[in-house]
Structure 1
C-alpha cells in the first residue's frame, strides 16, 4: 500500500498574504524599513527674546513655542491645542502677534520675540496687564498670557488703521466692541471671561464703555 505524500505545515490566508507582500518588496525597501530613524542635524538659531540675545542649537523641527518653554524656561507662553486654534501660545515677533506653536524656531533667525514675561513685571505691569487685573479679565489664567500679548498687538493694528472683517468704515477704524471681538476671536477663553477681557482692552484703547 502506498503511503500518502507528506505535506508541509498548514499556512493561513493571512500568513500567505503577508509572505507574498514581503516577497514583492525590493530588498532595499526592507532594509530601509528596519533602519532606525536618523536624528536631525542641530541648527543654530539666534534670537533676541525679551531684549536678551540667545544662540540656541535646536532640532530644525523645534517650534518657537517649544524653544521658548523648554530651552529658555519662559513658561508663561502656554501650550494649549498645539494646532494654532486656541491662541494660548501667542507671542509678539517683531511687534506682530503669531501663534508660536505653528512657527518653527529656525524661521525666526535674528528676530525679536516678546513673551508675556517681557511685557511687564510684578510692580511694573504693562498697562494691558494692569487692566486685566482691574477688570478681572481672567479666571483659570491659562489663556491670559496669549490674550494679553494678542491684545497689545491688536491695538497697534487698530492705531495703524489695519481693517478687519468687522470694520464699517475703512477710512476710520475705531475700537468698537465688534472690532475688538473680531480681532480677538483667535484667542479662546474656556472660562468665558470675554466681557471682562473686552472691558480691559477697551480701557487701554481709550474707548468709552
Structure 2
C-alpha cells in the first residue's frame, strides 16, 4: 500500500505534474492490490462455503438444514444408544431364575463357576478310617481310600485329559496327627490325572521323608477342594 500519497504543492509546474503522475500510479497500484485481496477473500469465502455445505451432510448421506441440526441429531442419537446399552447391561445382571447380581462380572463369574467341575468335601480321619461329607461334586468321585502315599481319590464322569487342581485346608488344630508327637506337615498332589488323584502326605517336604498312608493317620480333619 502506497497511501498516504505525495502532497501536492501550489506551484503548477513540472514538479507538480510529476507528483500527480506518481500519485495516479500509486493509486492504480493500490487499486490493483486491493482487487487481488478482494479476489482472494471471495475465493476463500467460496471454499469456506463449500466446507459449510459439506458439513450439513453426515457419513450416511443424510442432509441437515443446519450444522447445528446435524450436531443435535448426532447427540440425540448417541444419548439414545447409550441409554439403551445401559438398560441392556442392567437387565443382563439378572439371570433366568430372577437372581440379580451386583454387576455383569459377578454374573459371568457365577456362570463360569457353575460350569466348572468341582469336588468339595470334608474328611475326618480317626484311627485310619475316613468319614467323608460331600459339599459338592460327589458325582465325580468313584471312591476315596487309603494309599501307601496318602489318600487315593478315584474319579468318574471326568473327560479324558482333565488335569485336577487341589486345595486342602486343615480344620483340626494339629492337622492330620500320626501319633501323639508327629503330624502331617506337607500335603501335595502326588498323582493327578483325569481318572485319579493321590494326595501325598508327609511330615515334611524333604525328599528323604517317607509318605504316610491315610490308614496310618490317628486323627484329624480337613476341607478338600478339587477343580476338574
TM-score normalized by the length of structure 2? 0.25
Structure index of larger Rg? 2
Bigger strand fraction = 2
